[in-house]
Amino acid sequence: MKTIEQIAAELQGYDPQALSADRVNDFLARLVEPVGQTEDVAVFDALGRVLAHDVVSPISVPPHDNSAMDGFAFDSAQQQPGQPLRLRVVGTAFAGKAWAGAVAAGECLKIMTGAIMPPGLDTVVPLEFVKTEGEHIVVPLGVVGAGDNRRLLGEDLMAGQAALRQGQTLGPAALGLVASLGLPTVRVFRRVRVAYFSTGDEILSLGEPAREGAVYDSNRYTVFGLLTRLGVEVMDMGVVRDEPAALEAAFRDAARQADAIITSGGVSMGEADHTKAMMKQLGDVAFWRIAMRPGRPMAVGRIEEAGKSAVLFGLPGNPVAVMVTFLAFVRPALQRLMGGTASAPVLLQARSAEALRKKPGRTEYQRGIVVRDAAGTLTVRTTGNQGSGVLSSMVQANGLIVLHHGQGNVAVGDVVDVMMFDGVV
């Protein structure tokens, strides 16, 4: 495990007072190490878990050549150019059992979808294409070519081939693929536990009466939602008062029980409170000003307690800044902690329906609404007020317009990148 100082020394041009968004991710990739421990879980319990090994296919899927249609299987070598083919039907092959007989020249076999193709037969003509004449069928000209409607042994996966790679998060398709290999369990990384709490004396918990100058805590709820969708175990620690003893107890408790700690509030420049001081006292922590908007201040590091350590993400307090810094930095870092292969979100390109003011030298994340216009082009407009406290903008948006570090003003019709929310926010 590297210290903050060691990582800082490795990164060219590291300036904690003006860090680019890319640099933040470079830093976090060095700070965060995968949990490592694994467990075997049943396929139904593996949804959202991260695979801890390559899954090599023990069998070929499908295990035999088989029919892709209900129809008649025959040897296409018998087809003569310009002539319909007349064949005698000698039996029926059903899915699930091999057909035992032999099919000679001039013969064919009625065959159901999924049934094994007997040796020597390579083509299936669908039922609806043939004319039946008593015991015979006539395959008209041009309805099938050699090899049509036959699925080949191993066309999905060959025995010995890697079906899934370590680090892959198992989604519905992957669960099905594992099951198709006949594997009842998979080895996954143990679940990561993330503790989170809000700080600030002006923050009210739900159920407390409103009072002047105070706001209800929203960050714990957005963080809860983001973490739950990521598939980690959550540990909600409430709102922690701005008192050294309360903060110390919370940080120690979190570090003892969790793999990562997320706090919100108390890390900005002008903070008169104790959060930063306690982070500094208990951990190896860097305090940054990131060249981004929203979300400039952030604390990152590690807190050790009872012989183990937890990664700390001290997020800013503003509700939109919390979500944006989570999506831009915390989420990829946690994926790494979970053992996953880091995958940058696929940015979609859309035409901006409005002019956007943007200063080069920082990354901006504007809340965007992407629609397909009448001409079929993806266009994006902002939700309006981009204040970092305007949480309703995150609800209206379906993605974040990412205006990159070096980018300047955007004119109407310019193409911009959008990080879509689908399933994440």
Which residues contact ligand AMP (rule: CB under 6 A)?
A: 198, 200, 202-203, 215, 217-219, 264-266, 268, 271, 316-319
Coil/strand/helix, residue 5: helix
Question: Which member of 118, 154, 167, 200 binds Mg ion (CB under 5 A)?
Answer: 200
CB 177, min distance to ligand AMP, A: 41
HSE-up of residue 399 (Cα within 13 Å, Cβ side): 22
Q: Which of ligand AMP, Mg ion, none sits in contact with 203, Cβ below 5 to 8 A by type?
A: ligand AMP
Q: Provide the residue type at 334 as one letter.
A: L
CB 257, min distance to Mg ion, A: 25
Nearest to 314 by CA among 285, 334, 290: 285
Spatial contact of 247 and 278, defined as CB atoms under 8 Å apart: yes
- Which one of 31-39, 95-103, 123-131, 262-270 is the stretch in contact with Mg ion (CB under 5 A)? 262-270
Token digits of residue 188: 């996954």
Q: Which of ligand AMP, Mg ion, none sits in contact with 57, Cβ below 5 to 8 A by type?
A: none
Count of H-run helices and E-run strands, the chain: 9, 26
Q: Which of Mg ion, ligand AMP, none sits in contact with 218, Cβ below 5 to 8 A by type?
A: ligand AMP
Q: Residue 200 or residue 231: which is nearer to ligand AMP going by CB? A: 200
CB 321, min distance to Mg ion, A: 12
Q: Residue 99 or residue 196: which is nearer to ligand AMP going by CB? A: 196
Q: Residue 121 or residue 203: which is nearer to ligand AMP going by CB? A: 203
Q: Residue 66 or residue 275: which is nearer to Mg ion going by CB? A: 275
CA gap 371, 377 in Å, rounded: 8
Question: Under 8 Å CB-to-CB from 209, ≥6 apart: which residues?
Answer: none
Spatial contact of 129 and 122, defined as CB atoms under 8 Å apart: no
- Which one of 67-75, 260-268, 355-363, 396-404 is the stretch in contact with Mg ion (CB under 5 A)? 260-268
345 binds Mg ion per the rule CB under 5 A: no
Q: Residue 217 or residue 284: which is nearer to ligand AMP going by CB? A: 217
Token digits of residue 203: 């923050």
CB 292, min distance to Mg ion, A: 19
CA gap 66, 237 in Å, rounded: 57
Q: Residue 74 or residue 287: which is nearer to ligand AMP going by CB? A: 287
Q: Which of Mg ion, ligand AMP, none sits in contact with 217, Cβ below 5 to 8 A by type?
A: ligand AMP
Q: Residue 142 or residue 270: which is nearer to ligand AMP going by CB? A: 270
Q: Residue 271 or residue 305: which is nearer to ligand AMP going by CB? A: 271
> How many Cβ atoms from other residues are within 10 Å of residue 254's Cβ?
25
Q: Residue 149 or residue 264: which is nearer to Mg ion going by CB? A: 264
Q: Which residues pair with 111 in a beta bridge?
A: 71, 93
CB 209, min distance to ligand AMP, A: 17
314 binds Mg ion per the rule CB under 5 A: no
**Which residues of 98-211 form beta strands (DSSP E)?**
107-111, 123-126, 131-133, 136-139, 150-151, 162-164, 185-189, 193-199, 203-204
Q: Residue 171 or residue 387: which is nearer to Mg ion going by CB? A: 387
Q: Which of ligand AMP, Mg ion, none sits in contact with 319, Cβ below 5 to 8 A by type?
A: ligand AMP
319 binds Mg ion per the rule CB under 5 A: no
Residue closest to Mg ion when measured from CB atoms: 200
Spatial contact of 198 and 275, defined as CB atoms under 8 Å apart: no
Q: Which residues pair with 87 in a beta bridge?
A: 137
Question: Under 8 Å CB-to-CB from 383, ≥6 apart: which residues?
Answer: 367, 368, 369, 392, 393, 396, 397
CA gap 177, 182 in Å, rounded: 9
- Which one of 36-44, 181-189, 195-203, 285-293 is the stretch in contact with Mg ion (CB under 5 A)? 195-203
CB 273, min distance to Mg ion, A: 6
Spatial contact of 367 and 383, defined as CB atoms under 8 Å apart: yes
Q: Provide the residue type at 378 as one letter.
A: L
Question: Under 8 Å CB-to-CB from 318, ≥6 apart: which residues?
Answer: 294, 295, 388, 389
CB 389, min distance to Mg ion, A: 12
Give how far Cα 30 sits from Cα of 23, 300, 370, Å. 11, 12, 34
> How many Cβ atoms from other residues are within 10 Å of residue 95's Cβ?
13
**Taking the chain, what is the end-to-end CA distance rounded to the nearest angstrom?**
31
265 binds Mg ion per the rule CB under 5 A: yes
CB 330, min distance to ligand AMP, A: 15
CB 46, min distance to ligand AMP, A: 34
Task: List residues binding Mg ion (CB under 5 A).
Answer: 200, 265-266
